[in-house]
A and B are shown apart, each in its own frame.
Chain A
Amino acid sequence: MTPVEQLRESMRKDRQWSFMYSMLDLDLDVSQGVILYLEDVSVSFDGFKAINNLNFYVNAGELRCVIGPNGAGKTTMMDIITGKTRPDTGSAYFGRTIDLLRLSEPEIAALGVGRKFQKPTVFESHSVFENLELAMAGDKRVFPTLFARLGGEQRDRIHEVLGIIGLQEQTHREAGALSHGQKQWLEIGMLLMQDPHLLLVDEPVAGMTHQEMDRTAELLLSLEGKHSVVVVEHDMDFVRSIAKRVTVLHQGAVLAEGSMDEVQNDPRVVEVYLGE
């Protein structure tokens, strides 16, 4: 971008500067029952359309599964929602009013969109409890953090989350000593500590044992209703065990949507994915 273009871009009429955010309406409005709207979104990388006119809606409190062959654009879709990738065209709204395309990654995270990456990263030399403590929603500036004391309510919240993710026995263990599956749960717990409205979970059961998978399914199901959750997963058995509604992505667009049975019997889906 030349300087002139940059200047023009920064002076665009509809542009919002960060100091104006406080004036923006940032209250999550789910009065229509929908928490996420992606409409006509397209992204291309070097001419390759990774997302192609995608329309995708998630209801408040819903647990949604997204499946699709490798390269279908599932991770890219999450990148768009979290502000990591900007789409070329289309719109992305969080609730009815919040335009995600105008917000930065940390701003989107602060508004209550939590994301779990494919590879779990926890703070290995901290205990499970401390990991949750650090992730807790609250004032994260330097001096408030220096003087922070854990209140009783916050302690209760940490123990509540420990219960949800089933790591009470590991409370004071170093996170680095946890098994792969336990680290994944801890990471989900860290997301929960931030009280997100919308949780995006990318391939949570990759590399898990069957028991761990069952436990993860229970965990995700227990979140339904309290949080809206979008789970991207390859493992069909796992998806079958949790999904009410499934969206099939193919070549950057929605190929089919419906219950697991409907989707599985859709001839187009059988052709591109399940039939493989």
Chain B
Amino acid sequence: MLAVLLVVAVVVPILNLVVPESSPWHVSTYTVTLLGKYLTYALLAVAVDLVWGYLGILSLGHAAFFGLGGYAMGMYLMRQIGDRGVYGHPVLPDFMVFLNWPELPWFWHGFDLFWFAALMAILVPGTLAFIFGYLAFRSRVTGVYLSIMTQALTYALMLAFFRNEMGFGGNNGLTDFKDILGFDLKSDATRIGLFLASAGALALGYLACRWIVTSRLGRVAVAIRDAEARTRFIGYRVDRVKLAIFTFSAMLAGVAGALYVPQVGIINPGEFSPLNSIELVIWVAIGGRATLYGAVIGAILVNYGKTYFTGAFPEAWLFALGALFVVVTLFLPKGIAGLVGMIRTWRRSRSPAGPRAEAAP
């Protein structure tokens, strides 16, 4: 999995920069950005798989953490615009000038600093997940009730961010970004830089999750997933284990969101739509739960399909996704990753007999 990622991270920039545009092997900058976006989705899917696949928490609100990370980065990018906005105000973003706001709201302070915004992209989703998880896990909310609560969480955030008074640009969200860390967001080099950063974040996030799930804590997580009361009975503080892993997962989602926004150039409250959270659970289900790499495969394949489909038949996408989900749950309960496993055992069971069968006339 990491080897594939490394190859992609090396080959794609070369194909973009070195191979001439006339060559069929040339990868356009548009494609590089698209791939970068898929990688951030893959990181988000890994975060979901960590809590759903290993801990058994079906979070239908992870898009909220992704969105918050995205907004933190969006706020930094807004402040980077400086006086180059339509209204030319030295400090205030356009939408605030438009709303006749006299000054920057307090929560926008500090976002002119990259490190601060980056920290917030992790801390804000992390804190929200911590508070939410603290209340939910301590009162032992589980199963479908917990899932509904996470949906409510993301829905509430969507409604809040739609409001102009919240100070996050209302339904238009944040957009018209110019540059990041002084690099022009439209240049090929910046695009490749963001693509590489996404690949690096995915690799690190994947490794961190891999490390967690192979630790004893990971085995406790699976024990909680399969027999929660029993795990509590042998002395583990189930609520704390859940809280720690859920919070970490939300932070990963925040990182993914922060990398997503500069590549797509916009963040708006639509990212908090409850449907988004459901969709990303479907990526994981299709890729294969509790494997981590399955989540990566699922996120990339489904989103590739989505890009293709929404271009070709825009109305059909949701139906196609629904159909794919049904087919996978019926025929491939372990997703695409499970298919890989099935082929492997099938090959192994065949290989001793195989050559002999071929030798027969």
Q: Which residues of A sit under 8 angstroms from B220, Cβ to Cβ? A: 134, 145
B216, A148: Cβ atoms under 8 Å?
Answer: yes
Chain B's nearest CB lies how many Å from the CB of A193? 9
A130, CB-defined interface residue at 8 Å: yes
Q: Are B222 and A123 touching (Cβ within 8 A)?
A: yes
B227 — nearest CB in chain A belongs to which residue?
A121
Given B215, B219, B235, which contacts A110 in the complex, CB threshold below 8 Å? B235
In the complex, chain B residues 188-235 whose Cβ is within 8 Å of any chain A Cβ: 212, 215-217, 219-220, 222-223, 226-227, 229-235
In the complex, are the beta carbons of A126 and B223 less than 8 A apart?
Answer: yes
- In the complex, the answer to whether B215 meets A121 with C-beta atoms within 8 Å is no
In the complex, B356 has a CB within 8 A of chain A = no
CB distance from A178 to the nearest CB of B (A): 14
Residues of A contacting B222 with CB < 8 Å?
123, 125-126
Q: In the complex, which residues of chain B have a beta carbon less than 8 angstroms from the beta carbon of A125? A: 222, 226
Supposing A142-B244, A146-B215, A147-B215 touch, asked if A109 and B236 sit within 8 A by C-beta, the answer is no
CB within 8 Å of A: which B220-263 residues: 220, 222-223, 226-227, 229-237, 240-241, 244
**Contact: B235 with A145, CB < 8 Å?**
no
A133 and B216 contact, Cβ closer than 8 Å, known pairs A141-B240, A142-B241, A194-B235: yes
Tell whether, in the assembled complex, residue A145 and residue B215 are in contact, meaning their CB atoms are under 8 Å apart.
yes
Q: In the bound complex, do residue B223 and residue A141 qualify as a contact, i.e. CB atoms below 8 Å apart?
A: no
Enumerate A72-127 residues with CB–CB distance to B below 8 Å.
105-106, 109-110, 121-126
State which of A110, A121, A141, A145 has its C-beta within 8 Å of the C-beta of B230: A121
Rounded to whole Å, the gap between the CB of B229 and the closest CB of chain A is 8
Residue of B nearest to A147 (CB): B215
Chain A positions within 8 Å of B217 at CB level: 142, 145-146, 148
Known: A142-B240, A145-B216. A109 touches B233 (CB 8 A): yes
Residue of A nearest to B225 (CB): A125
Distance in Å: Cβ of B272 to nearest Cβ of chain A = 29
- Per the bound structure, the CA–CA distance linking A146 and B236 in Å amounts to 12
Is B226 touching A140 in the complex (CB atoms < 8 A)? no
In the complex, chain B residues whose CB is within 8 Å of the CB of A148: 215-217
The answer, yes or no, to whether A248 is at the interface (CB within 8 Å) is no
Task: Kindly state the separation between the CA atoms of A145 and B219 in the bound complex, as whole angstroms.
Answer: 10
Task: Assess whether A140 is in contact with B235, with CB atoms less than 8 Å apart.
Answer: yes
Contact with B along A41-70 (1 / 0, CB 8 A): 000000000000000000000000000000
Q: Give Cα distance in the complex from A147 to B217, angstroms.
A: 8
Residues of B within 8 A of A123 (CB): 222-223, 226-227, 230-231
Residues of B within 8 A of A106 (CB): 232, 235
Q: How far is the CB of A190 from chain B (nearest CB, A)?
A: 7
Q: How far is the CA of A147 from the CA of B244 in the complex (A)?
A: 14
- Assembled-state Cα–Cα distance A123/B216 (Å): 14
CB of A135, distance to nearest CB on chain B (Å): 5
A130 touches B219 (CB 8 A): yes
CA–CA, A109 and B233, complex, Å = 8
Whole-angstrom distance between the Cβ of B154 and the nearest chain A Cβ: 26
Query: What are the interface flags for B137-153 relative to A under an 8 Å C-beta threshold, 1 for contact and 0 otherwise?
Result: 00000000000000000
Sample 14 A-B pairs with CB under 8 A, ordered by A number.
A106-B235, A122-B227, A123-B223, A123-B230, A125-B226, A133-B219, A134-B220, A134-B234, A135-B234, A140-B237, A141-B237, A142-B217, A145-B215, A146-B217
A residues contacting B by CB (< 8 A) are 105-106, 109-110, 121-126, 130, 133-135, 140-142, 145-148, 190, 194
Question: Which B residues form the contact surface with A (CB < 8 A)?
Answer: 212, 215-217, 219-220, 222-223, 226-227, 229-237, 240-241, 244
Nearest first, the 9 A-B pairs at minimum CB distance are A146-B217, A148-B216, A145-B217, A123-B223, A121-B230, A140-B235, A142-B244, A135-B234, A140-B236
